[in-house]
Chains A and B, each alone.
Chain A
Amino acid sequence: MATTATITLTSADIAGDPVNVSKTATCTKAGATTDLDQTTGLNRVHLRNATNKVLLAANAEGNDLAAKVYIINKSTDPSLYLTITINAQTVGKLYGGDWMFFPWSQTDTSANIEVAATNWTSSTGDIPVEYALFHEDTDFLTNA
């Protein structure tokens, strides 16, 4: 059940020499070479709230495992951003078109991944967000 994640970073002009990084990771279970075999599938929500909303709720059974999270801000407006937090700690801002892919160890049950359409107003329109979780915890049945 191999799931692979490939990143390619390219730039011809950000430095004196071109940047060309391409790496592929096979998503495996914690400390093993066994493939991750659970996923939420690709989800889509439309955010219209400047306050934090739980995107993925941490689960004790997922503690210190090797889950991977993909999130993309599908807005085409570069000024509209999502604030990504884990247990109230701001990680970063995902601007229109940006994506992120990262490990999520669900260190405790407070380690929810939350998103806020921080500069959303009724006149900006919704911010579409797509996300997927790849994991090994079979008790993780639903998100928030």
Chain B
Amino acid sequence: MATTTATITLASTDLLSDELSLTTSATLTGAGNATGITGTAGLARKTVAGGHAQYTLFDGNDYDADKAHKLYLKNLSTTATEYFLITVNAEDVGRLYAGDWALIPWSAHDADNDIKIDPSANDMTLEYMLFVD
């Protein structure tokens, strides 16, 4: 059993008239239990070259269904207009703009539950890490 911790801090001194300061941590555990997730695909990078077509980052067929996988994504671009459109199966989740990151639970509930990325420009690089249940 491994111990992996994901912590988020959301902070702003001026979005509201009171300061926003939220920090919470989660220990990444298996589906329905308190056992630490033991698998990872490691921190990786994918540069989607010419044509900026949609690319399948993770195939739902390759992972056990209905688990507590967690996916970290970060757009390494520094050009504000550049984004990766993140899609699960055929449903758009959102646009990850330059510098943005996301942490998403992924249940890989069926073979169609692929994670796909579609960059808005050529030669954009995504950094990602999958924690596998």
Q: Are B10 and A3 in contact (CB-based, < 8 A)?
A: yes
The main secondary structure of chain A at its interface with chain B is strand
Q: A residues within 8 A CB of B88?
A: 86, 89-91
> 8 Å CB contacts to A: which residues of B65-103?
66, 68-70, 72, 74, 80-81, 83, 85-86, 88-97, 99-103
Report how many residues on chain A are interfacial, defined by Cβ distance under 8 Å: 66
**Once the chains bind, are A99 and B6 in contact (CB under 8 Å)?**
yes
Contacts of A64 in B (CB 8 A): 95
The answer to whether B27 touches A97, judged by C-beta atoms less than 8 angstroms apart, is yes
> With A19-B40, A72-B24 known to touch, is A11 a contact of B109 (CB < 8 Å)?
no
Q: Are B105 and A98 in contact (CB under 8 A)?
A: yes
How many angstroms from the CA of A12 to the CA of B14 in the assembled complex? 36
Contact with B along A110-144 (1 / 0, CB 8 A): 01000000000000000000001010000000000
Contact yes or no, B15 A39, CB < 8 A: yes
Which positions in B face A, CB cutoff 8 Å? Answer: 2-16, 20, 22, 24, 26-29, 31-34, 36-40, 42-43, 66, 68-70, 72, 74, 80-81, 83, 85-86, 88-97, 99-107, 109, 113, 129, 131
